[in-house]
A and B are shown apart, each in its own frame.
Chain A
Amino acid sequence: MNRDWSELSPILWESVRETLYIVGVTVGVGGALGLVLGVLLYATRRGNLLQNVVVFTILNVAVNVVRPIPFIIFITAVGPVTLAVVGTTIGNDAVIFAMAIMATFVTARIVEQNLVATDPGVIEAARAMGASRLRILVTVLVPEALAPLILGYTFLLIGIVDMSALAGYVGGGGLGNFAIVYGYQRFNWEVTLVTVLVIIGMVQLAQLLGNWLARKALHR
């Protein structure tokens, strides 16, 4: 066993690095696009700043269609698109492409739901000061909802770690792939357990960091 781990631990750390890369890029790209989409989803709703039935309906339907697709099916279903854009359907970049799309739609809903709770009075105050709608969205709406947004993004991050593990099954690297190849396929339960512990550790850290940042953002 010990000899086993001296071989495995470099691969484990490489897998951790890969997972961090996949999750990082996905959260960065999907999180940013999702923020834009989520703000639009919120703002185009009836009675809000950019009220627009057509845009809202299209966005809303798109989010509702994409989000419930199980990720393992989604990643294979977008295969042709991935092939066209990335040039391959295996490897981390291909996986990131599919994950970023899913993350965008998931984020959009998370962002929208957190913005709904924003006090409309604050938006009215900004309008009364003569601020433009775009300025209000960027400088009032998002900063005012920052604390719940941080918690939402923490939730997203953990969901993406989960997604990345699944992606390990269909061509991606990282901890998911490590657990499957060295644990599941070799009947090595210990490897699976260690992988689980590493993932729990990463998720805990992310949650602690998220909670701390959200508390800071509340300015109590």
Chain B
Amino acid sequence: MAALISFQDVSKVFGSGDRAVRAVDGVTLDIEAGEIFGVIGYSGAGKSTLVRLVNALEPVTSGRLLVDGQDVTALGESQLRRVRAGIGMVFQQFNLLNSRTVAGNVGYPLKVAGWPRDKRAARVAELLDYVGIADKAKSYPRQLSGGQKQRVGIARALATSPRILLADEATSALDPDTTQDVLALLRRVNRELGVTVIVITHEMDVIRLLAHRVAVMEAGRVIEHGPVYDVFAAPRERATRRFVATTLKDRPTPEALDRLRHRHPGRIITVGIRESGVDVTAALREHGVDGTIVFGGITEIDERPFGSLTLELTGADGAVDALIARLRETTDVDDLGTAGVRA
């Protein structure tokens, strides 16, 4: 099946000559219909520019970019407007029209699309109901909280029933509780309406909670991409490892490990907990080794278990070695050794 969005060696250069900046540098990437695709990177990595190429808010400098089979780099302004109308966009700062009511904001893209007034009103009511702010229809954006504003933003982005929704740091201006609500809404939009969602963020938590696949960007390039679970389980690049470390604090830092060794003289190992991993307690019993859980954390990524447990093992040396070998058959084991002898 052809991808819904296909970047083929796409670059975007701002400015020219000595002051030229390659915001997006030779990106090749396929985004499939129906998925939630995350793009993560530090600020200035080029992720916001990348997403703006999709709806041609920024023209591509070189390469091909297919959106729904159409090469957007070859289209004129009026055709681009039609492409844009079929792609919803949600912004970090919401970008609502302060001069219009909530209903006016949600109705604006319909007005642009030429819907008659009565059909517009019905659709607006339906959308406000869907995002849960039907009671705010007559309010103005300045009278709303951040979470309510983003709901309006999402309703507005969905107004014309787009196949693609671009979310540019959609939760970065929200508090943690509201972030959860908005992420849940985006998940619902993807699952119930079948909208393909592209999420731009600098927060690995957003990727962990929302995305199916992720691309990590650095200096305009996609340095790593794949299913979120795989990227979390085996991050290849340094930047990726740093992002993963910000969301999962399941492994002890060197300082925490020193404190652990102080309290626990035995051999310390960290066992990765995966969907298909071995049952650690059963393995301990089997090899006659005592294990004390001293650190760790298990969470869900893409609705599958993920994390690690750090244990202090006490038992005969041979038994402990056999246990570690057994665990290594199905998962990653980090042997941190004992206080005196570092493995």
Inter-chain contact A132/B91, CB cutoff 8 Å: no
CA distance A119 to B95 in the complex (A): 8
Selected interface stretch from A51-59, A63-71, A202-210, A212-220: A212-220
Please tell me if B89 contacts chain A, counting CB pairs below 8 Å.
yes
Inter-chain contact A131/B100, CB cutoff 8 Å: no
Within 8 A of A (CB), among B126-147: 140-143
Please tell me if A146 contacts chain B, counting CB pairs below 8 Å.
yes
Please tell me if A124 contacts chain B, counting CB pairs below 8 Å.
yes
Inter-chain contact B99/A146, CB cutoff 8 Å: yes
CA distance A135 to B112 in the complex (A): 8
* Chain A window 177-220, contacts with chain B (Cβ cutoff 8 Å), 1 for yes, 0 for no: 00000000000000000000000000000000000000001111
Question: Which of A122, A140, A143, A218 is most buried by chain B, counting CB atoms within 10 A of its CB?
Answer: A122
Please tell me if A112 contacts chain B, counting CB pairs below 8 Å.
no
Q: Which of B81, B100, B166 contacts A132 (CB 8 A)?
A: B81
Please tell me if A10 contacts chain B, counting CB pairs below 8 Å.
no
Q: Which of A121, A140, A144 contacts B91 (CB 8 A)?
A: A121
Inter-chain contact A129/B84, CB cutoff 8 Å: yes
Inter-chain contact A131/B99, CB cutoff 8 Å: no
Chain B: minimal CB distance from A18 (Å): 36
Residues of A within 8 A of B57 (CB): 124, 127-128
Q: How many A-B residue pairs have CB under 8 A?
A: 72
Inter-chain contact B100/A143, CB cutoff 8 Å: yes
A121/B87 contact (C-beta < 8 A), A128-B57, A129-B112, A131-B112 known: no
A129 to B, closest residue via Cβ: B109
* Chain B window 30-55, contacts with chain A (Cβ cutoff 8 Å), 1 for yes, 0 for no: 00000000000000000000000001
A121/B93 contact (C-beta < 8 A), A131-B112, A143-B100 known: yes
Inter-chain contact A219/B98, CB cutoff 8 Å: yes
Residues of B within 8 A of A132 (CB): 81
Inter-chain contact A219/B99, CB cutoff 8 Å: yes
Please tell me if A77 contacts chain B, counting CB pairs below 8 Å.
no
Inter-chain contact B95/A122, CB cutoff 8 Å: yes
Question: Which of B98, B100, B142, B143 is most buried by chain A, counting CB atoms within 10 A of its CB?
Answer: B98
Residues of B within 8 A of A218 (CB): 98, 142
Q: Which of A122, A127, A128, A129 contacts B96 (CB 8 A)?
A: A122
Please tell me if A116 contacts chain B, counting CB pairs below 8 Å.
no
Inter-chain contact B85/A130, CB cutoff 8 Å: yes
Please tell me if A125 contacts chain B, counting CB pairs below 8 Å.
yes
Residues of B within 8 A of A119 (CB): 93, 95
Inter-chain contact A127/B98, CB cutoff 8 Å: no
Please tell me if A126 contacts chain B, counting CB pairs below 8 Å.
yes
Chain A: minimal CB distance from B236 (Å): 34
Within 8 A of A (CB), among B141-166: 141-143, 156, 160, 166
Chain A: minimal CB distance from B128 (Å): 17
Please tell me if B108 contacts chain A, counting CB pairs below 8 Å.
yes
* Chain A window 103-137, contacts with chain B (Cβ cutoff 8 Å), 1 for yes, 0 for no: 00000000000000001011011111111100100
Inter-chain contact B55/A128, CB cutoff 8 Å: yes
Chain B: minimal CB distance from A193 (Å): 43
A144 to B, closest residue via Cβ: B99
CA distance A131 to B113 in the complex (A): 8
Please tell me if B97 contacts chain A, counting CB pairs below 8 Å.
yes
Please tell me if B191 contacts chain A, counting CB pairs below 8 Å.
no
Please tell me if B82 contacts chain A, counting CB pairs below 8 Å.
yes
Chain B: minimal CB distance from A33 (Å): 23
A144/B97 contact (C-beta < 8 A), A127-B84, A219-B142 known: yes
Inter-chain contact B97/A143, CB cutoff 8 Å: yes
Residues of B within 8 A of A217 (CB): 99
CA distance A139 to B99 in the complex (A): 10
* Chain A window 26-68, contacts with chain B (Cβ cutoff 8 Å), 1 for yes, 0 for no: 0000000000000000000000000000000000000000000
29 pairs from A and B in contact (CB 8 Å cutoff): A119-B93, A121-B91, A121-B95, A122-B97, A122-B98, A125-B96, A126-B97, A126-B112, A128-B55, A128-B87, A129-B89, A129-B156, A130-B81, A130-B83, A130-B84, A131-B81, A131-B108, A131-B112, A132-B81, A139-B108, A143-B97, A143-B99, A144-B97, A218-B98, A218-B142, A219-B98, A219-B99, A219-B140, A220-B142
Not counting A121-B95, A144-B98, A219-B142, a sample of 9 additional A-B residue pairs whose C-beta atoms are within 8 angstroms of each other reads A128-B55, A128-B57, A128-B89, A129-B84, A135-B112, A144-B97, A219-B99, A219-B140, A220-B143
